[in-house]
Chain A
Amino acid sequence: MTKDECKQIVLDIIAEIAPDEDLSDVKADVGLRDQLDLDSMDLLDIVMELRKKYGIDVPEDEYPQLASLQSCAEYLTPLFNSVKA
């Protein structure tokens, strides 16, 4: 999986949990919560969906790694690739 594919997966999850958000212009290097109306409950749902759909566990102290699309891609892509392998 590439980092761009990983970003798309995160965007797809956000589209599912927050269908009322406009995701057409999300900037990868800006914090998700700075440009979208997401709260800690939504963040929990992103984590829960990663586990449910892809078997990826994000421990609570590593939630800050999910701050922006870019940081999601850096953190999650290796995890996706190791789950696949």
Chain B
Amino acid sequence: MSGLAAGIRLALFDKNVIILERHNVSGGLNSFYSFDGRKFDVGLHAVTNYVSPGVKGTPLVKLFRQLRIERESFGLCEQKGSKVAFPGVELCFNNDFTLFESEVARAFPKQIDNFRKLMRIIYDYDELSLEAVELSTLKILDEHITDPLLRDMILCPVMLYGNAQETDMEFGQFVIMFKAIFCEGFARPFDGVRRIIRALHDKYRSLGGKRKMKCGVKRILTEGGKIKELQLDNGDLITADHVLSSIGSVETMRLCNGQPKNDLASEVGRLSFVETITILDVQPRELDWDDTIIFFNDSERFDYRRPEDLVDPRSGVICFPNNYRYDDGQELPEGVFRVTAMANFDRWTSLPEDEYKAQKELWYDRLAEQAMRFLPPLKGHTLKDLTQYLDMFTPRTIKYYTGHLAGAVYGAPHKVKDGRTHVDNLYICGTDQGFLGVIGAMMSGISMANYHILSKD
């Protein structure tokens, strides 16, 4: 997605651009797939950063301006309402920040002044600076929020929706995600992420941008610190004045000639996920499953790290794509119930095939059972009775389709904010540059195209 956005920016100003995509669909970590006639979104639970028409100065507005796309082309419809659910405490939130603030005041009356002080720091922080120094989120939160339960309830959604680092989070990344989730909000197009990808394609094509599908870059051939040629999967060689890579920073380095194949192993992200997708023959609202997204945790402390076991079912995300305010009261044709939890890439990829299948079935059941503890109980049904179809993806699936090492959906723990590499005319964009979420991915492509190419002309 960052690559498409960068491509649009460059094509807008008459650059001769080509997008090389190894997969047969665009979107990268925010793509979709079809199975049995159903279309599934890969990453997207929600487009974060949603603001109403007329609100200015936020990433969503900058994005539409920079891409010269009309906001209607994304068809964004707002969430109904979401929550953070821990044992015995829930904090509801929606796209109006005052609800979340009042929930904190209700559930943690002694912390509300501290929380407001923290909000001042968040509002004043320039998270988009390309030169910012790295600060620890835990340190800043601990200085302000003295109740560890509230601290964990704030961290849980922010980390699960974009943190590439185990245990702690770089503060700039925290601010980006906190604002994207709580200060701005969630929305979704009725058709899911493909509506956004289509809008980007249409724009790119209208500007004369070229695109080559099922054609990855096999090697980056450098000479004298600059790119000489790109060797493609089909053996073709192409040259370019500038190359923006959205495949990940370590992934990009390893394509460069002279770099060892296992280069920078310690820089590879360790966080990956499993997700179960259950297609129901009822709308979730008929089961009183009315939330859009629920971030849950039932361990004593929220523990954000690669689990020892295949999956860590203690915390995760439940998402009902049905529960958005679609135009004219439209409803998705089927109920969709998705549950996401942290998973161990090495464990999943070392299983023999028959064991892999068996573990998928086992963990599907365990995760569904765990998620249902945070939902109103089913009356007179079992989940099985209501299930039309189910699917599950694992870290192995993510690696296979996206090429991201270790299935790390949020990329490398250390971000390359200025996008520079050891090669002069090769730049990183996308999740490893450090803007997060769907809107962040596009902003990353835009910023890097602006910063390294358009403003240097």
Contacts and interface: CB of A to CB of B under 8 A. Distances in A.
Interface residues of B, number: 18
A39 B446 CA distance: 14
Contacts of A19: 65
Interface residues of A, number: 15
B interface secondary structure, majority: helix
B13 A48 contact: yes
A4 interface: no
Nearest to A38: B65
B13, B65, B447, B455 — most chain A CB neighbours (10 Å) = B65
Interface stretch (B56-64, B115-123, B244-252): B56-64
Contacts of B349: none
A41 B66 contact: yes
B426 to A, nearest CB: 22
Nearest to A18: B65
A39 B57 contact: yes
Interface in B439-457: 446-447, 450, 454-455, 457
B450 A41 contact: yes
Contacts of B210: none
A37 B13 contact: no
Interface centre among A18, A20, A51, A60 (most CB of B within 10 A): A20
B65 A44 contact: no
Interface string B1-42: 000000000001110000000000000000000000000000
Contacts of B455: 44, 60
B366 interface: no
B62 A17 contact: no
A16 B68 CA distance: 8
B68 A17 contact: yes
Interface in B401-457: 446-447, 450, 454-455, 457
Contacts of A51: 13, 457
A48 B61 contact: no
A42 interface: yes
A84 interface: no
B455 to A, nearest CB: 6
Contacts of B68: 16-17
Contact of B65 (A17, A48, A52): A17
Contacts of A52: 13-14
Given A20-B56, A48-B454, A41 B13 contact: no
B418 to A, nearest CB: 15
Given A52-B14, A60-B455, A45 B57 contact: no
B420 to A, nearest CB: 18
A81 B450 CA distance: 28
Interface in A30-75: 37, 39, 41-42, 44-45, 48, 51-52, 60
A53 B366 CA distance: 60
Given A52-B13, A52-B14, A44 B57 contact: no
A32 to B, nearest CB: 14
Identify which of A17, A39, A60 gathers the most chain B CB atoms within 10 Å of its CB: A39
Contacts of A44: 450, 454-455
A50 to B, nearest CB: 11
B62 A39 contact: yes
Contacts of B57: 37, 39
Nearest to A57: B457
Contact of B56 (A16, A37, A41): A37
A45 B56 contact: no
A51 B12 CA distance: 12
B235 to A, nearest CB: 36
A48 B447 CA distance: 15
A48 B62 CA distance: 16
Contacts of A41: 62, 65-66, 446-447, 450
